[in-house]
Amino acid sequence: MIKILIKTIAFKTGKLTYFYRKICRPNGFEYASFLKKRHFFYSIGDNCSIRPWTNITDPKYVKLGNNVQLTACTILGHDGSINMLNKAFNLKLDSVGKVIIHDNVFVGHGAIIMPGVSIGPNAIVAAGAVVTRDVAENTIVAGVPARKIGLLDGFVEKLKKRTGEYPWNYLIQKRGGAFDPSLEPELIKQRVTYFFGHEK
């Protein structure tokens, strides 16, 4: 009952957001829906997934397309060193930038997106990458700073082949989406057996 109350207050007022994330533990799709309802970003498309602990410093400078999936990554909208520089040199400087993430983009865990960057459409940013410049359409980037390591369409073909070779492929094909709780126990069991045999 308390979870329903916290979620209701968070969605209606924007208050109790911390408790909503901590106690209700929304999945990425629900949390993106919450952020969309609260007008958190400059704009956000449909079918997005944003993990609750994703760090977005300046959401009003961020534009997200459709089917954008953000894990526990960081999106920066400003250069934090400005405050120190202004005091150190008695200046009034500013350094900010928009971030545009186009349709069909996945940003991996721990990745950092710097201000002034545009990503995609149809792109993957690997876990831990630091994106300092635009990521082209149909591109996969990784590393520090992030560099192109492949093309998305080639990666999709590789994954289709690999998926077809897994003994649990028939379960994957039965799923209605990315996750099906009724199939998950059997899927985990088959994967564990495949990875480790019957050892304990």
What is residue 76's predicted lDDT score, i.e. its pLDDT? 97
pLDDT tens string 2-54: 888 888 888 888 888 888 888 889 999 999 999 999 999 999 999 999 999 99
What is residue 48's predicted lDDT score, i.e. its pLDDT? 97
CATH number at residue 58: 2.160.10.10
What is residue 178's predicted lDDT score, i.e. its pLDDT? 76
- Same domain, residue pair 47 and 141: yes
Helices (H), 14-91: 17-19, 28-37, 82-89
What is residue 118's predicted lDDT score, i.e. its pLDDT? 98
Given 39, 78, 102, 198, the catalytic residue: 78
Low-confidence residues of the chain, pLDDT below 50? none
78-112 in b/e burial notation, b at 16+ Cβ within 10 A? ebeeeeeeeeeeeeeeeeeeebbbbbbbbbbeebb
The domain in which residue 53 lies consists of 41-151
Number of domains in the chain: 2
- Same domain, residue pair 93 and 181: no
Q: Are 55 and 45 in contact (CB under 8 A)?
A: no
- Same domain, residue pair 111 and 137: yes
78 is catalytic: yes
- Same domain, residue pair 55 and 138: yes
